Structure 1
Amino acid sequence: MSSEAVRREIVQYLPRLWRYGLVLSHRRDIADDLVQATCVRALERAAQFTAGSRMDSWLFSILHSVWLNEVRAQLIRRGQGFVDVDELSGAGNSEDPVWSNEVIRRVNRLPEAQRNAVFLVYVEELSYREAAAVLDVPVGTVMSRLATARLTLARDSALQPEAPPRKGERS
């Protein structure tokens, strides 16, 4: 596919790419940078796109790769082996309904691998096979991550706040 053809098609995927960038980075400015880098790389590598395949899956794969490269670069710059996702988190939108904030809060507590699988399959509606290709893992791994995420979210939503221990009881 020519870079001009990719340029014409890519426009319709920008909001979805930005949303995935936000899921990964938790910051609007970083999501913007990720989308820009994804578009540049897609245009540079337009000939690598396989006609008849899903452009959104290809673009998500590129964005995911750009994100991993950015995380690695941060690790090298900081001289650390770990980047805390809380350092990258941005402020939530206060106009969201309370239930939506609660769902997002619970999903954000999932490990990154599970969170990414949940987003790609349930929000972006990629198939398990497509999500596996984006994340560069086997299909079974995506299925396992989703099953674990569903169990965690179900258990989390079933938990009720505990009553404080009564005087004389052990906590």
Structure 2
Amino acid sequence: MPEDNMKTEMIRLLPKLRSFALRLCRNPDQADDLVQTTCERAIRSLDQFDPATRLDSWMFRILQNHYFNSVRDSANRARLFDLAMLDFEESYDGAKAAASSLELQKVRDFIGRLDEDNREVLLKIAVEGQSYKDVAAELGVPIGTVTSRLARARLKLREWLETDDTAPEVPIQSMPGGVL
């Protein structure tokens, strides 16, 4: 069938295609979209049309396949969205997150007020997970000094947490003589 005759035949099929689409999706707007997409795909794929088959059967198959694919895709998107929302709803508590953020900021402020030597040891061991031996080697001090600095920082942190949640005004100082 020549291409011009095919396009004329496609136009003649539009009411039947729309009726079929409307029966599939039961939504006039969606039916119109299905018919339009079907015509676009058919025109783009004219070179794949087998003249031994019927044009109406070919176009109805294009419409049906497109409809079932879109239904399946929508169901998959909805399922994935529901799963994402379920995870979000179960794992996210806005009030808890805000409180945690404020608490974290308070702890950061407190750590920032520690004496530099004690702060450095606390961060390297408690936050970075380094060993006492590695921290001692990095700082060039004995392991006992690292232990003492960490103990003082932890003690001051514990005292602060047990009080009114305000960081102390006076930072922890090293002992005189510069050993610790």
Q: Give the TM-score category using the shorter length.
A: 0.3 to 0.5
**Larger relative contact order, structure 1 or 2 (CA cutoff 8 Å, min sep 6):** 1
Q: Is the radius of gyration larger for structure 1 or structure 2?
A: 2
**TM-score, L = length of structure 2:** 0.41
**TM-score, L = length of structure 1:** 0.43
